[in-house]
Amino acid sequence: EEEEKGAMEEGSSESMARAVAAVFEAETRAIGSLDPKRTEFRSLELPLARIKKIMKMEDEVQSQLGGKKCMVSSEAPVLFAKACELFILELTTRAWTHTEESRRRTLQRSDVAAAVSKDEMFDFLIDIVPRAPELQDEPQPDDDRLV
């Protein structure tokens, strides 16, 4: 029974790795095909003004500058926005893989928690997204969205 469970987890990891690789291959091709002279880099999914505001209010940046106001170039928020989009895309792909493995069609908080718990890369999210076993101990709310 344990061998069967190990084989299922290995297959799950492989399918997740394939899904993430496929998403990033598509993104890499899309980025590679951009023409810098014709592409409007400011047409991203995330609001650049909000990203710039977050970058300026970061406590660590302020403390390193001795409380002085920091300046942010116009290119930096664009790069951060694209990085955030790719991060969200990868986390969503990993969570969706868990959703499909559970034979559901609705992505839930528990799927995000499972995606976070399966990879050390997401350990910085532990305070925000509880690990999957912790979710099972808590009563599940009717509304399973991330807050």
Q: What is the pLDDT of residues 71-110, one digit of tens each?
A: 778 788 888 888 898 899 999 999 999 999 999 999 999 9
pLDDT band, very low/low/confident/very high, at 41 (cuts 50, 70, 90): low
pLDDT band, very low/low/confident/very high, at 9 (cuts 50, 70, 90): low
Provide mean pLDDT across the span 122-133. 80
d(CA 113, CA 123): 11
Q: Where would I find the H helices in the chain?
A: 2-32, 48-57, 59-64, 75-101, 109-117, 132-137
More confidently predicted of 102 and 15:
102
Burial of 89 (0-12, 13-18, 19+ CB in 10 A): middle
Closest CA to 41 of 70, 9, 76, 2: 76
pLDDT band, very low/low/confident/very high, at 52 (cuts 50, 70, 90): confident
pTM for the model stands at 0.64
First to last CA, the chain: 37
d(CA 82, CA 53): 16
d(CA 67, CA 61): 9
Q: What is the mean pLDDT of the chain?
A: 76
pLDDT band, very low/low/confident/very high, at 132 (cuts 50, 70, 90): low
